[in-house]
Amino acid sequence: MMSNVVIMEQNTLKNDQYNENSDIENCNFLLKFKGQSLDFSKKTYVMGILNITPDSFSDGNKYKTVDEYLYRIDEMIGQGADIIDFGAESTRPGSQPVTVEEELKRLIPVLEKAVTRFETIFSVDTTKSAVAKAALQHGVSIINDISGLTFDPHIGKHVAEHDAAIVLMHTPGRPEVMQEHTEYDSLISGVMDSLRDSISRAEGLGINYENIAVDPGIGFGKTVEQNLEILRNLNEFTTLGRPILVGTSRKSFIGKLLGDPNVNNRVEGSSATVTAAILNGASIVRVHDVKEMKKVVKITDAIQGKN
């Protein structure tokens, strides 16, 4: 049994429970997968980022061998990461896609050793069904899809077959062009409507409602002010009835606000955004600096009265 997974017994909830008159708050507390549940009423979960890429904006090409990646996984777990999120294709603004073959070539050698060596929750950040299928076959519990099943909906079938969890994120376009699409009639309602569509799409592919989390996609097709608007109004997303994942770590809007282009000087700014996200309803925070952010999460959870 994984020590950082809270095993819960709960009757299956029907989708019609999640309407405007329901007790939405309680629905946000659980994310199920493979007969297990994460209980967010107890704490905010920290997702540590492992970029297996040469071109990620923050730590691309920092690690080069399987052993170096395994060392980093071990380090993040020791620092308090509850989930390790593998990414073998950069999704930074302007990044170019890689082939399925290249993504698998980067991912699988690290993943297949990690799942046998470490007792933790593994997630894979991908928009390709073939990559998701391979990751799930290797024991991954969560697929983190930045497209909300809009790029390759077949991902949903594989998630459903494995009774895995999925994070559905909002983006207005693929990474190479998404910053060209930052105009919204109404930012919050537009992003929420898109996430509702993604939830419906996921359910239509057989994914259980309780296996779904959502991510408003900070930094994906949003301006600096729009990112701040989402953080200020994050609590509105709780009406979707699903746990919220937020990823602000080291992103460029923090550097712009600080007037410092150096990505390594964004720890304090990232800390502020993580605090704001949790206080406004986030259940999972996706971070690079696990050691520092774990402390931020612990204090913020204490302010909220979580155990």
Task: Give residue-wise pLDDT tens across range 134-170.
Answer: 999 999 999 999 999 999 999 999 999 999 999 999 9
- Give the confidence band of 4 by pLDDT, cuts at 50, 70, 90: very low
Please report, rounded to a whole number, the percentage of residues in the chain having pLDDT higher than 70: 88
Q: Rounded to two decimals, what is the model's pTM?
A: 0.89
pLDDT average, residue stretch 21-40: 76
CA angle 135–136–139, rounded 5-degree value: 95
Residue 3, domain member (yes or no): no
Flag whether 31 is in a domain.
Answer: no
Please tell me the total count of domains within the chain: 1
Catalytic residue among 92, 106, 222, 286: 286
CA-nearest of 155, 216, 141, 211 to 184 is 216
**Domain limits at 185?**
42-304
Q: What is the CATH number of the domain that holds 125?
A: 3.20.20.20
Q: Is residue 18 part of a domain?
A: no
Q: Each residue of 33-88: pLDDT tens digit? A: 999 999 999 999 999 999 998 854 455 456 779 999 999 999 999 999 999 999 99
Active site residue 251: yes
Residue 29: predicted pLDDT: 83
Please indicate whether residue 286 is annotated as part of the active site. yes
> How far is it, in rounded angstroms, from Cα 71 to Cα 59?
15
Task: Tell me, yes or no, whether 250 lies in a domain.
Answer: yes
Q: How many whole angstroms separate alpha carbon 298 and alpha carbon 121?
A: 19
Dihedral sign of CA atoms 74, 80, 82, 87 in order: negative
Residue 30: inside a domain, yes or no? no
Give the mean model confidence (pLDDT) for residues 175-188: 92
Q: Which of 192, 191, 214 is nearest to 202 (CA)?
A: 214
Is 241 a domain residue?
Answer: yes
| Residue 126 C-alpha from the chain's centroid | 11
* Residue range 106-125: mean pLDDT, rounded: 97
Q: Is 140 helix (H, G, I), strand (E, B) or coil?
A: coil
Among residues of the chain, what percentage have pLDDT more than 90? 81
> How does the average pLDDT of the chain come out, rounded?
90
Distance of alpha carbon 256 from alpha carbon 270, whole angstroms: 12
Secondary structure of residue 49 in the 3-state scheme:
strand
**pLDDT-derived band of residue 28, with 50, 70 and 90 as boundaries?**
low
Do the domain assignments include residue 147?
yes
Annotated active-site residue in 251, 266, 294, 306: 251
